[in-house]
Structure 1
Amino acid sequence: MGTGVTLSFSSYGCALPRRTKLNTLACRASNFDMGLKTNFYKVLSLESESVGAEEIKKAYRSMALRYHPDACPPGKKESSTRMFIELHRAYETLSNPALRNKYDNELRKSKTMKEARLEFFRETWEAQLHELRRRSDNRERAKVGSREA
């Protein structure tokens, strides 16, 4: 039962591939992948992740007026359009309670993983420094020992 129809739900990153059974759905959490690269709270210039729906709406409206492609100078149209799209994606995610909850969980997980990576790199760096210091001390002792002999 194949079809040539493609369904797309852009705000959720889901699409039904062409020539596939209707009960097969391929989804990507593209909003969340991108959101983890770009913090939606920072995009909307929000100070905290514990803001309410009204604060999110107010921040979005303020930023949307500022970056709307029709209200920007001609030289900044491309960058304003990109920022406006990012603002819209942020608002779309943070204004929907289910999407926001999922985004917040992914953001927390991402922060935890980032902290773990930083800790690993710090521990690795310290171990390397310790080993270099040990080797340097051994060489210094060998030099002092050869001078005394």
Structure 2
Amino acid sequence: MENGNRIGSLSITPTVGRQTPQNDFGTVFARTAQEVVRTGAGVVASLVPGGPAVSAAVSSISRVVSTAATARGASAMPLPGGAGGAGSATGTVGTSGQGEQWDLLAAQKEMQAEGMKMNLAYMDLQNDMQKESRAHNAISNIMKVRHDTAKAAINNIR
């Protein structure tokens, strides 16, 4: 007795090698940290009054992060100071002087304040979009009810 729900023939695909590159978290994290430091150097240097000192500190951080990224890519050994290059980078900033640290802290606070302003603007935009969506849905529902009522009246006349 044959059941019609059976799977006919099976095709088995042989195992193939990996087609996408294997990216370890630590390597990707170190590369990302390196890019953040590289792109953030100009922004921080322009915001802080002691530009040359901050630029020197940021470039030394960049060197530490790039060295960490190279070391991480070359071996699977964990970096000193924790995962990624962030732990070793903070030690470099600590040696640049107390005044620069306060300048960096002030710049960070300014950037956080700017980020909060942007978040508030984004939330306002979201609220406006939600109001518009609710108004559209209400009008759409009213028009649907009117259409259904007119359609029912026409069908009743027939």
TM-score, normalised by the number of residues in structure 2: 0.40
TM-score, normalised by the number of residues in structure 1: 0.42
Flag the structure with larger Rg. 2
